[in-house]
Amino acid sequence: MNMPPKPPAYAKHLGPPQVIEADTNGIVPVTYAWPLTAFLQPDAFEKLKNSHQLAHDGCQWFVVAKQLTPEEIAQTCGPVNKIRLGPNQGFLSITFGKTTFNCQALAKHAKQLANIRPDLASNKPRKLTKSKLPTARPPARTTGTRKPRHARRRKR
């Protein structure tokens, strides 16, 4: 994997490259990035944001180093077999060969491909199995119930 060099102005603020997006099994990497390990002043952060692609995972900022294209993934995993879309045509996943990806880096490609080849797209909801169905509470007993102890009258 040919990684581009770190941006020289920010090299001391960036850690070693990490995989931040991969397939659903975590085997095929899609996006490589350098974590931002030191605090940047707001003006320096704005310059970095304007000159490089940034990603955020909820806890940490990353400077994206390399993102595989759908063509590169197709060379390693095989052609697109299936695209899953949500009820409002939102991206859920795309399958290359036998490898499924649900990362947002491929969402734009999947939506474009679904418009060109509607036979690949499916937006059928998953069927819930019996074990995943919500369980109902048993009905309350109506006969033979007693009042709570504090609500009973004492006999004198």
Same domain, 14 and 59: yes
**How far apart, in whole angstroms, are the C-alpha atoms of residue 65 and residue 27?**
18
Domain coverage including residue 84 = 71-124
CA dist., res. 34 & res. 94, Å (int): 26
Mean pLDDT, consecutive 10-residue stretches, the chain (156 aa), reads: 82 91 87 92 92 89 91 89 84 89 86 80 63 60 66 67
- The answer on 117 and 86 residing in a single domain is yes
Give yes or no: residues 47 and 15 share one domain: yes
**Number of structural domains, the chain?**
2
Residue type present at position 58: G
What pLDDT was estimated at residue 156?
A: 63
Q: Is 62 exposed, middle or buried (0-12, 13-18, 19+ CB in 10 A)?
A: buried
3-class SS of residue 109: helix
